[in-house]
Structure 1
Amino acid sequence: MARNHAGTTAIVTGASSGLGAEFARTLAARGANLVLVARREDRLSALADELRDEPGVTVHPLAVDLAAPGAADVVTAFVRERGLPVDSLVNNAGFGMHGPLAEADAARLDEQVRLNVGALVSLTRAFLPEMTASGRGVLVNVASTAAFQPVPFMAAYGATKAFVLSFTEAVAHETRGSGLRVTTLCPGATRTEFFEVVGTDRVRVGGYQTPQQVVATAMRALDARHTPTAIVSGRRNAAAAVVAGLVPRSIVVPLTARLMSR
């Protein structure tokens, strides 16, 4: 049975497109008020206008680059100034880079770690006390199937997603019994702008899912009596994640390198 989020407030990062926009639409349809965070103000405004058509839903767009130092503090101040009690947080913002680490742009690499790890941790810490006190919402940290094994040629990206998985599993344990549902969403290749930012889609493994499919999988798990601390979207992706945990790294890493170097 779908959980009712009426009267709650949810923050969704990376909300201007892809999984973030789909999470925003789904939560709004369930009655949640929203704080939408992303870089692109025009897209945020358009989505906010769309979601305000949901009865009783208020939407607060905030255009900010979460990869910038101190960006999480900007989000926190924005929420506090408006007196919004936060029940849910979807940390979706993130990006990947492809190529040998030795050739990576250093500044862009730093941005990737600040966004995929730093902003996620800071926002989780900022709003976790009130989310656990509320006990009505969800904390969804978006990782990737890349979290389950080292990823040569996307080394930092894979490591950030492994961090997200480990971090969220620990937070789920710390908050057990609070009523807050905490999980890591681990999608595989999804039809978003991810591969445009990466610069190639030749590194994807398996077929594409749509954002609607991925978010529907996440929401079904969050609606279940016992929410798993990691949700892998797609049966093949779930099977691959299990295999990656069973096969020795000496086999998994070269195989992954072969796929990523295409």
Structure 2
Amino acid sequence: MKKTALITGATSGLGYEFVKLFANDGYNLVLVARNENKLEEIKQTFTNLEVTVIAKDLSVPRAANEVFREIEEKGLDIDVLVNNAGFGLLGKFDELDIYKQLEMIQLNITSLTELTYYILPKMKERNSGKILNVASTAAFQPGPLMAVYYATKAFVLSLSEALVEELNDSKVTVTTLCPGATKTNFGSVANVEGTKMFSKAMESDKVAKKGYEAMMSGKRVIVTGGLNKAGALGAKFLPRNLSAKLAKYVAGEK
């Protein structure tokens, strides 16, 4: 019997790369994103698989619950959950639109938390399942000029690592993918393509493959790219004020 993977933010960037990876391994797919037309286009490219599309904007309250209810109504069992959807914004906290920042929190934190909460119990019942939460190297330090984004990713990493310990007597695994700058539409949405942090952005297919392999092997945390690994390690030892200054520097223009 084929396994089923649920992927959020499935229509572009890392999300679409994950779609291809799971499809290549013969998984049935549940794809969640805002753009229904794009979801249907993707569905038509994988006619050998059972593909369910759910058009929902997870930056809206209750959307994650609606996704779960639709999954339940269709009688779908989720073997792998990929919480990929997210976005960031560049700018000073008090100068950015507060409602956009609240949408970011809703998407990056609340919907991820809800979907994990809804899907996890059945995984525990079956004593089988994998969860991949997409965080960022931003999770390891405070981030001036992207304050809320960095904070959301710190939440994702902390939650995920805590769940690893809660589940250590089961065969359910939780993996956190922490990429640095990646060539997706994240850069244009966040308005960071012209910053130092994006000067050596990795290709999205390479990042997704590393995350996929880490998840399949049950790894706890994966940081992609040598420089990113060094930065994440350095953030553990630097004083927090110096980490913040460094993050502010790389958020500046090239």
Give the TM-score range, shorter chain: over 0.9
Query: Is structure 2 residue 184 aligned with structure 1 residue 189?
Result: no
Tell me how many residue pairs correspond in the alignment: 252
Mapping of residues 107-126 of structure 1, within 5 Å: 107-126=99-118
Q: What is the alpha-carbon distance in structure 1 between the residues aligned to residue 38 and residue 202 of structure 2?
A: 22
Aligned residue identity for 2:31: L
Runs (4+) of structure 1 exceeding 6 A deviation are none
Asked whether 1:24 is paired with 2:19, we answer yes
Unmatched segments (≥5 aa) in structure 1: 1-5
Q: How does 1:206-245 map to 2 (within 5 A)?
A: 206-224=199-217, 227-245=218-236
Write out aligned runs for 1:70-89 (5 A). Answer: 70-89=62-81
User: Which structure 2 residues correspond to residues 54-203 of structure 1 after superposition, within 5 A?
Assistant: 57-203=49-195
- One-letter code aligned to 2:222: I
Query: 1:13 offset after TM fit, Å?
Result: 0.2
AA in 2 matched with 1:43: K
SS at match of 2:107: helix
Q: 1:205 Cα shift?
A: 4.7
Instruction: Give the distance between the partners of 1:67 and 1:40, measured in 2 at CA.
Output: 13
Query: Who is 2:40 aligned against?
Result: 45
User: How far, CA to CA, are the matches of 2:212 and 2:59 in structure 1?
Assistant: 27
Please name the residue that 1:3 is paired with: none
> Identical aligned pairs, as a percentage?
42
Q: Distance in 2 between matches of 1:175 and 1:133?
A: 12
Deviations 1:215-260 (A, max 9, x none): 1111222333xx3321101121111100111111122211221221
Is contact 1:22-1:211 (8 Å) kept? yes
SS at match of 1:152: coil
> 1:134-173, CA deviations, whole angstroms, 9 ceiling, x for partnerless residues?
3443100000111111000000000000000000001111
Contact 1:188 1:237 in 2 (8 A): yes
Deviation at 1:261, TM superposition (A): 3.1
Shift of 1:85: 1.0
Give the Å deviation of 1:38.
0.2
Instruction: Indicate whether 1:259 and 2:250 are aligned.
Output: yes
8 A Cα contact 2:192 2:198, kept in partner: no
**Which secondary structure does the structure 2 equivalent of 1:140 belong to?**
strand
- Given that residues 131 and 215 in structure 2 are in contact (C-alpha distance below 8 angstroms), is that contact kept between their aligned partners in structure 1? no
CA-based RMSD of the aligned residues comes to 1.4
Contact 2:68 2:118 in 1 (8 A): yes
Question: What TM-score results when the alignment is normalised by the length of structure 2?
Answer: 0.95
TM-score, structure 1 as length reference? 0.92
**CA displacement at 1:186 relative to structure 2:** 0.5
CA displacement at 1:51 relative to structure 2: 2.1
Q: In 2, are the aligned partners of 1:8 and 1:137 still within 8 Å (CA)?
A: no
* Counterpart residue number, 2:10: 15
Measure, in 2, the Cα distance between the counterparts of 1:44 and 1:135. Answer: 31
Contact 1:87 1:130 in 2 (8 A): no
Conservation of the 8 A alpha-carbon contact between 1:87 and 1:135: no
